[in-house]
Structure 1
C-alpha cells in the first residue's frame, strides 16, 4: 500500500477551534514520489498575526483559495487506500478528520508517525523534531513551516526509515491493535502495554523524568486511553508531545487513589495540573485558651502553636461561621473574635450576652458550650478506620482519621490483627490534613464498598 505523506498549516493548535489554511500531500511508493498535491485553504476567518508570521500565509493569500469543502473530495480520493504518514501524525490527522466531520464525511485511514518510527529505527539521537532530523540526515527543507516543504522533508525522512527498517517497525506499527499511531511520539509502546487495568495514580514524565501531570483512575490503562483520544486541546497536545514515560502507583481503590492524587499534585506541582495545586481553604478558625481559662477562637492564616478547628476559604467566610456559632450556641462575640474591646462585649451591654467576657460565667461552663458548638464544625468528630480493596488479593487499603483529623492511608494483609492506633501508624503513609481530603473521605462514608470501624 502506498504512503500519503501529509503536512498541514493551521490557524492554531486545537482542531475543534481552528481551521486548516494549507494542505500538502506527497504520494510515495517506498522508493519514489509518484504524485504531489498542494493547495491553500480559505479558513473563512482572519488568520492570527503570529500564524502569518510563522508560515508567511496571509489573509490576502487565502482570500481567493477554495474552502475545505470545495477540495474535500479531491483530498479524500488522494488519501484513499493509502497509509497516512506525518511527523507527529495525530496533529495532522486530527485536523483533517475534524474538517471531514464538519462537512458530514467520514475519514478512516491507517496511520504512521515518523517521530515514533525514527525513534525506533534510529535510537539515541539528541532530538526527533523534523528540523533536527533533517539536519542530522542532511535533508534539505527550503520551505520550513509551509506544507509542501515539510511534506517533502518528511517524505525523504520516511525513505531513510524504509531503507533502514531492519526489525520491521513499520509493519509492527500498522498492526490493527498496535496503537502505535495514537501514542505520544516520545513514549515507548512497551511502557503503554505494561499499564495496569487497576485503580491507582499515574504520572506523565518528560525525558528528564520531571512530572508533567498527575492523575487518578479506577482503571489506569483505560484512563490513559482517554488522554490519547483525538481532538485534544492545544494545552493537552503540548503535554502529550513531551510525555516520554508513564509511571504509576497502584492504590487498590478509588478513595486512596483520590487521596494520593491530591498529595502527589501538591508534592510535585506538575505543569499541566490546574486543580488541587492550591488549597481553596487558606484560612482557619484557631482555638486557644486565655489567661483566665476561657477557650477562645480567632480567624487567621497558619498560626503556630494554635489548634486549627475548622478550615475556611477567606476571613469573610470564617466570620460568617463565627456569627452562626454565636447565634446557635449563645457564645460571647468577644471571645470568638467577632468584637475587639478591652471591656465587656457590646452584646452584653445590651443584654444579649450572659457575660463570659467579664467573668459572669465560669470558664468550665462556657468552655463546654464552645466545645459543643465546635463538634458541629467537623465532618468526623470521632476516630475511625475506613477499609477498602487492596492492591492485590489478600490485602486491604485503609484510611485513618483520629479525633477528626486525617492522618494518612496504607495497606495491610487481610489477616493482620491491629489493636492500637500506634500500629495503624506503622503501616500508614502520613499525609497532610486539609478540607479537600475531608470532602473526599466524607463521600465514601457509608459507601457499600467501604467498611468503617470506629476506634
Structure 2
C-alpha cells in the first residue's frame, strides 16, 4: 500500500495561491492572529509551511528582546529626568571599609551644580588615591569636614531620587563617612546609571553572569558626554548625567551606528 504524501510540491502550493513567510513578507503580509499553516512544502532536505493569504494581515514589525530591553531603560531614564532627579558623585580616600569621602558634587537634571565641595577627611589621603583623582592633602587642608557639610547634604537629597554611576560604592562610602563622624546617614533613593548603561549596552560578562560594567569615561565617550577633568566629582557627575540623557534619547531602543571618526 503506497504511503500517503503529506507535503505539497512548490508547483501545487503556487497553483493554490499559498505563500510561505518569506513570500508573505515580500508582499507586506504576515499570518494573522490564530492563523495556522494550510500545508507544507518539501524542498531539498526539509519542509516549510505555507499559508492562505486570506488568513493574513498587513505585516508589522515587532521589536526583539534586545530592543525591548533598551526601550525599557530609555523609559526609566526619561522618568528619572522628568522627576527632577539629582546626580551625585564622590571622590574618596580609597575603597576600603574605613575610607571616607574627600570630595562630593551633586547636580540637578539640568546640569546645574547644587553642591560641589572638597571635604577634609579625618586621615591623610593615600598617594594611590591622589594618583587617580589628583586631590592632595594640601587641597583639602582648608576644606570643610564632613560634619560641616552633612546637614546641607541631607537637606538636598531628602525625598529626591538620586542617580550615581556605581551607586553601591557611593552609598557605602557616604555611610562610612557618616559613621566615622558619629552621624546618622540619610536614607537615599538611588539608581545606578552604571547598571542601566550596562544593560543597554548588552555585553554579557560570563564571569559575573550579568551585563558587563563599563568605566564611566568609556560610557560617556560612547554617549558623546565625556568632559575634561575625569575622576573629579563635578566632572563625573556631569558625565553621569550625560549618559542618562543619552539613554533617555534612545527611546526607540535602536542602537545608533558607531561613529568612525
TM-score under structure 1 normalisation? Answer: 0.34
Equivalent positions of 1:306-345 (< 5 A) are none
Matched, 1:38 2:120: no
Corresponding residue SS for 1:33: coil
Matching residue of 1:112: 191
In 2, Cα distance between equivalents of 1:77 and 1:166: 37
User: In the alignment, does 2:201 pair up with 1:122?
Assistant: yes
What is residue 17 of structure 1 aligned with on the other side? Answer: 98
d(CA) in 2 for partners of 1:34, 1:46: 31
Give the match for residue 89 of structure 2: 7
Q: 1:24 to 1:34 in 2, by over 3 A?
A: closer
Using the alignment, how far apart are the partners of 2:84 and 2:152 within structure 1? 17
Taking the TM superposition and a 5 Å limit, the aligned residue runs for 1:367-386 are: none
What is the CA distance between 1:86 and its match in structure 2? 0.9
Equivalent position SS for 1:25: strand
Judge conservation of contact 1:127–1:133 (CA < 8 Å) in 2: no
What is the deviation of 1:163? 2.6
2:155 to 62, 77, 84: 77
Match of 1:296 in 2: none
Distance in 1 between residues matched to 2:217 and 2:127, nearest whole Å? 23
Contact 1:7 / 1:148 at 8 angstroms: preserved in 2? yes
Aligned residue runs from structure 1 range 215-294, under 5 A? none
Per-residue deviation at 1:127?
A: 6.1
Residue correspondence of structure 1 range 425-444 to structure 2 within 5 A: none
| 1:142 and 2:223 are equivalent in the alignment | no
Is the Cα–Cα contact under 8 Å of residues 21 and 41 in structure 1 kept in the other structure? yes
CA contact (8 A) 1:85 1:113 kept: yes
Q: Is the 8 A contact 1:100 1:107 kept in 2?
A: no
CA 1:166 to 1:116, structure 2 compared with 1: closer, same or farther past 3 Å?
farther
- Shift in Å, 1:48: 0.7
1:130 Cα offset (Å): 0.9
2:174 to 96, 103, 108: 96
Runs of 4+ in structure 1 over 3 Å off: 124-127
**Whole-Å separation in 1 of the counterparts to 2:112 and 2:234:** 15
- 1:89-122 deviation per Cα after TM superposition (whole angstroms, max 9, x unaligned): 1000111122234433132121111111112333
Partners of 1:138 and 1:166 in 2: how far apart? 18
**Structure 1 residue 43: Cα displacement:** 0.5
C-alpha distance after superposition, 1:179-231 (max 9, x if no partner): xxxxxxxxxxxxxxxxxxxxxxxxxxxxxxxxxxxxxxxxxxxxxxxxxxxxx
CA shift digits 1:256-308 (9 cap, x unpaired) = xxxxxxxxxxxxxxxxxxxxxxxxxxxxxxxxxxxxxxxxxxxxxxxxxxxxx
After superposition, the Cα gap between the structure-2 partners of 1:158 and 1:13, relative to the gap in structure 1 and judged at 3 Å, is same
- Assess, with a 3 A threshold, how the Cα gap between structure 1 residues 18 and 112 changes in structure 2: closer, same or farther: same
Q: CA deviation at 1:80?
A: 1.2
Tell me, in whole angstroms, the C-alpha distance in 2 between the residues paired with 1:79 and 1:163. Answer: 26
Q: CA–CA distance in 2 between the matches of 1:19 and 1:79?
A: 19
Q: Secondary structure at the match of 1:138?
A: coil
| Map of 1:428 onto structure 2 | none
In structure 2, distance between residues paired with 1:47 and 1:109: 26
- SS of the equivalent of 1:22 reads strand
- Partners of 2:213 and 2:185 lie apart in 1 by 35
Structure 1 pair 121–166 and aligned structure 2 pair: CA distance change class (3 A): farther
Is the CA contact 1:121–1:164 (under 8 Å) kept in the aligned structure 2?
Answer: no
Secondary structure of the 2:187 match is coil
Where structure 2 has 5 or more consecutive residues not aligned to the other structure, the ranges are: 1-82, 205-211, 254-261
User: Is the 8 Å Cα contact of residues 87 and 241 (structure 2) preserved in structure 1?
Assistant: yes
